[in-house]
């Protein structure tokens, strides 16, 4: 027995020594066939020592790199040619070798070493077209054929290594050869199959997302075109299920971390969400941090593909199946809510309710902004709105709420309601919980924009949603109160008048068109009652607008003037009803009227009220990804690239495992 162990040890040392010697000669620029005449035939029958190849490449200086460039070209070329071999060892070892070569060369490029030309160094001048075409041809064969799952992972990883090679994806010119290929169709095929999707789903969606973002504003991106016209229902559902699986795992993980004590709960929330973006607790939070990529994937699908809307409402009874081996759920216990039939929209709303609670860092603010951009795309789509307002498509979505001093968080089960009502609850929660010193103006603009789109749909289609509108009106009025209370600090730093005008116009929509979509006349009466009850908010807002609109040196003078114009109906309501109420109280000799008595007076005096029909209240500019978003998305893609590189998901699968799969499947 000892002799056998000793023989094995000697054999391993001999193997390692031969491998090291061969590669050292190769990277010295020597003609390795002089020393090893059978070098290229034997090379891919020897298991590659990945770390050694990487170290050899990384330690090359400019002079030695120039000397061995021809050998690197030959090595890359033989790696690609060996993919056509019938020998399992050659295929596995060659794709692993190619992966580490490309990964190592990209590392040298990112070290900014004298503007290293990766394409010329790896493929040679004039060879890249032929070599990349061959690589993609072989990759398509292995990705779509009956081959081991882990081998398919190696081929996906090669393209992920390329896509994440440079910090700035737009400078990665090797991707030009990927863009004009048929790899898109092969990746989509993987999403159609449940087993393949569970194994490769996350990396496939990640790769598609990165390729869609390659020079998207500089030239025609074929992947954008293909994704926008994709109408394969199975593939679109698979794409959506990858996203819903990961977001569902995030929500379950959050629920498990949430203790009963509110202070501890907030601390846990801050630590958990903070870890997503600042890179703490790498291994523990890897799956959570990866949601950034999936959110961008969701954004691209909802923004580009009208057919994807059907996937948003696709109901599934189990969202816990992992989308990849790197993205498995942290916990296995499911709450009562998550065992209900769910769809991607419901899960996404729950996810949003979590991340909006901790907007204390720029990274999380960006994450919330992306969520709101997705909601903007969804809420302006006619079909998506019809699904969200369908009373027969009711879901029980547990929205998480931020602990606040003036309210208690009761652990009540969410009610079953249309998704539009849940989205309105989410909007109400965001508005209520973000009236803070560090005022997130841009997020408020996005939030109010989503609300406007929902109301425009309801008005246009005369949809009477069963919703407690008073909750929305109350937070909108409280937001206006917050703005007037903190005008001295806010008005100096930002254009609060533009936001205030949008909020007032939301109320104007209810005033002008409320009879077309509110559930009952009594609901309409409640709106007027609330405006009158909160009259000092509008009086103070009007006074603030007048002050700044008359200030010739104020930067946002014109916005203040627009606010004054938007308040015209509020002024008419407050000039009309309070005198009528006072007159009636005096006549009846009543000092403390009931709500019903005030409502009766309002109803009796509608006919004598004159309101102004304002232009374009029910209009909005459809979302378009323009130049103002460039910096945001560039930064987001860079963050995703960095996270992918450091997450370990590009680590090569052990070749022994793949070869065992080959033999078990009797493929060779």
Classified as helix, coil or strand, 416 is strand
More confident residue, 563 or 36: 563
* CA-to-CA dists, residue 345 to 60, 247, 292, 378, 582, angstroms: 51, 11, 17, 9, 49
Instruction: Kindly state the average pLDDT of the residues 300-324.
Output: 73
User: Where does the pLDDT of residue 405 fall: very low under 50, low under 70, confident under 90, or very high at 90 and above?
Assistant: low
pLDDT digits (tens, 9 = 90+) for 375-385: 999 999 999 99
379 and 251 within one domain: yes
Among 190-194, 239-243, 511-515, 648-652, where is mean pLDDT lowest? Answer: 648-652
* Dihedral of alpha carbons 625, 629, 632, 634, sign: positive
Residue 457 maps to a domain: no
Residue-level pLDDT at 258: 62
Residue-level pLDDT at 236: 96
528 and 423 within one domain: no
Residue 172 has pLDDT above 70, yes or no: yes
* CA-to-CA dists, residue 530 to 264, 559, 570, angstroms: 36, 26, 11
Percent of the chain with pLDDT strictly greater than 70: 85
User: Where does the pLDDT of residue 316 fall: very low under 50, low under 70, confident under 90, or very high at 90 and above?
Assistant: low
63 and 184 within one domain: no
Contacts for 553 with CB less than 8 Å, ≥ 6 apart: none
Tokens 């307002």 sit at which residue?
389
664 and 599 within one domain: no
Count of structural domains within the chain: 3
Instruction: Kindly state the average pLDDT of the residues 249-255.
Output: 85
Residue 246: is it exposed, middle or buried by C-beta count within 10 angstroms (0-12/13-18/19+)? buried
More confident residue, 508 or 411: 508
Residue-level pLDDT at 331: 33
Average pLDDT of the chain is: 87
Task: Give 109-115 contacts, CB < 8 A, sequence gap 24+.
Answer: 109/165, 109/166, 110/165, 110/166, 110/167, 113/62, 114/62
Residue 2 has pLDDT above 70, yes or no: no
More confident residue, 327 or 207: 207
pLDDT digits (tens, 9 = 90+) for 468-501: 999 999 999 999 999 999 999 999 999 999 999 9
490 and 368 within one domain: no
* CA-to-CA dists, residue 445 to 311, 500, 509, 619, angstroms: 27, 10, 17, 15
User: Where does the pLDDT of residue 667 fall: very low under 50, low under 70, confident under 90, or very high at 90 and above?
Assistant: very low
Residue 393: is it exposed, middle or buried by C-beta count within 10 angstroms (0-12/13-18/19+)? middle
Residue-level pLDDT at 419: 96
376 and 315 within one domain: yes
662 and 522 within one domain: no
Instruction: Kindly state the average pLDDT of the residues 317-346.
Output: 49
User: Where does the pLDDT of residue 56 fall: very low under 50, low under 70, confident under 90, or very high at 90 and above?
Assistant: very high
Q: Count CB-CB contacts under 10 A for residue 308.
A: 26
Percent of the chain with pLDDT strictly greater than 90: 67
494 and 423 within one domain: no
Residue-level pLDDT at 270: 58
DSSP tag of 174 = T
Rounded to two decimals, what is the model's pTM? Answer: 0.89
**Structural domain that includes position 63:** 14-164+650-668
pLDDT digits (tens, 9 = 90+) for 521-579: 999 999 999 999 999 999 999 999 999 999 999 999 999 999 999 999 999 999 999 99
Residue 659 maps to a domain: yes
151 and 59 within one domain: yes
Residue 106 has pLDDT above 90, yes or no: yes
189 and 156 within one domain: no
Distance of alpha carbon 302 from the chain centroid: 11
Residue 117 maps to a domain: yes
User: Where does the pLDDT of residue 254 fall: very low under 50, low under 70, confident under 90, or very high at 90 and above?
Assistant: confident
- Which residue, of 612, 640, 660, is where some domain finishes? 612
More confident residue, 47 or 404: 47
User: Where does the pLDDT of residue 420 fall: very low under 50, low under 70, confident under 90, or very high at 90 and above?
Assistant: very high
Range from 28-32, 346-350, 405-409 that averages highest in pLDDT = 346-350
Residue-level pLDDT at 360: 74
325 and 237 within one domain: yes
Q: Which residues of 591-620 are buried (b: 16+ CB within 10 A; e: fewer)?
A: eeeeeeebbebbeebeeeeeeeebeebbee
Alpha carbons 654 and 88: distance in angstroms, whole number: 14
Among 284-293, 436-445, 510-519, where is mean pLDDT lowest? Answer: 284-293
Residue 276 maps to a domain: yes
Residue-level pLDDT at 311: 85
């Amino acid at each position: 027995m000892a002799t056998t162990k000793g023989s094995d040890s000697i054999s391993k040392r001999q193997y390692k020594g031969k491998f090291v010697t061969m590669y050292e000669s190769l990277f010295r620029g020597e003609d390795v066939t002089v020393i090893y005449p059978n070098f290229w035939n034997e090379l891919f029958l020897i298991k590659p020592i990945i770390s050694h190849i990487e170290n050899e490449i990384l330690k090359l200086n400019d002079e030695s790199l120039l000397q061995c460039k021809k050998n690197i070209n030959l090595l890359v070329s033989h790696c690609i040619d060996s993919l056509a071999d019938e020998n399992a060892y050659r295929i596995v070892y060659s794709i692993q070798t190619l992966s580490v070569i490309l990964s190592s060369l990209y590392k040298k490029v990112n070290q900014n070493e004298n503007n290293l030309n990766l394409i010329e160094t790896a493929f040679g001048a004039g060879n890249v077209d032929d070599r990349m075409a061959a690589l993609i041809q072989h990759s398509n064969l292995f990705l779509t054929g009956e081959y081991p799952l882990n081998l398919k992972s190696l081929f996906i990883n090669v393209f992920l290594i390329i896509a994440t090679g440079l910090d700035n994806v737009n400078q990665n010119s090797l991707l030009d050869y990927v863009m004009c290929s048929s790899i898109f169709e092969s990746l989509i095929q993987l999403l159609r199959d449940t087993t393949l999707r569970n194994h490769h789903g996350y990396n496939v969606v990640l790769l598609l997302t990165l390729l869609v973002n390659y020079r998207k504003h500089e030239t025609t991106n074929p992947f954008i075109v293909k994704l926008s016209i994709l109408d394969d229902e199975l593939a679109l559902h698979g794409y959506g299920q990858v996203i819903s699986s990961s977001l569902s795992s995030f929500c379950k993980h959050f629920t498990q971390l949430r203790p009963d004590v509110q202070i501890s709960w907030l601390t846990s929330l801050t630590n958990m969400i903070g870890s997503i973006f600042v890179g703490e607790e790498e291994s523990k939070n890897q799956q959570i941090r990866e949601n950034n990529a999936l959110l961008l994937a969701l954004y691209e699908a909802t923004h580009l593909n009208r057919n994807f809307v059907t996937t948003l409402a696709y109901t599934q009874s189990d969202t816990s199946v992992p989308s990849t081996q790197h993205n498995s759920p942290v916990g296995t216990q499911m709450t009562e809510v998550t065992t209900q039939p769910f769809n991607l929209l419901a899960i996404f709303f729950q996810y949003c309710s979590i991340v909006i609670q901790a907007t204390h860092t720029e990274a999380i603010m960006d994450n919330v902004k992306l969520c709101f951009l997705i909601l903007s795309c969804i809420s302006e789509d006619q079909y998506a709105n019809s699904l969200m307002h369908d009373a027969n498509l009711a879901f029980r979505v547990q929205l998480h709420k931020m602990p606040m001093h003036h309210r208690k968080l009761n652990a009540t089960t969410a009610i079953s309601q249309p998704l539009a009502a849940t989205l309105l609850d989410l909007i109400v929660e965001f508005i209520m919980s973000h009236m803070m010193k560090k005022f997130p103006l841009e997020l408020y603009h996005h939030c109010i924009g989503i609300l406007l789109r929902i109301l425009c749909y309801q008005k246009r289609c005369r949809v009477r949603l069963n919703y407690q509108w008073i909750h929305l009106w109350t937070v909108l009025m409280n937001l206006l109160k917050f703005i007037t209370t903190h005008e001295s600090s806010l008005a100096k730093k930002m254009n609060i008048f533009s936001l205030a005008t949008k909020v007032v116009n939301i109320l104007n929509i209810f005033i002008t068109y409320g009879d077309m979509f509110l559930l009952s006349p009594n609901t309409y009466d409640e709106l007027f009652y609330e405006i009158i009850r909160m009259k000092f908010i509008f009086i103070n807002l009007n006074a603030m607008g007048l002050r700044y609109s008359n200030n010739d040196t104020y930067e946002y003078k014109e916005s203040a003037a627009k606010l004054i114009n938007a308040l015209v109906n509020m002024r008419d309501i407050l000039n009309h009803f309070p005198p009528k109420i006072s007159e009636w109280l005096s006549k009846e000799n009543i000092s403390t009227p009931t709500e019903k008595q005030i409502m009766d007076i309002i109803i009796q005096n509608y006919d004598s009220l004159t309101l102004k029909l304002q232009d374009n209240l029910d209009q909005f500019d459809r979302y378009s990804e323009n130049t103002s978003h460039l910096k945001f998305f560039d930064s987001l893609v860079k963050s995703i690239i960095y996270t992918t590189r450091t997450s370990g998901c590009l680590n090569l699968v052990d070749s022994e495992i793949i070869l065992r799969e080959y033999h078990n499947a009797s493929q060779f």
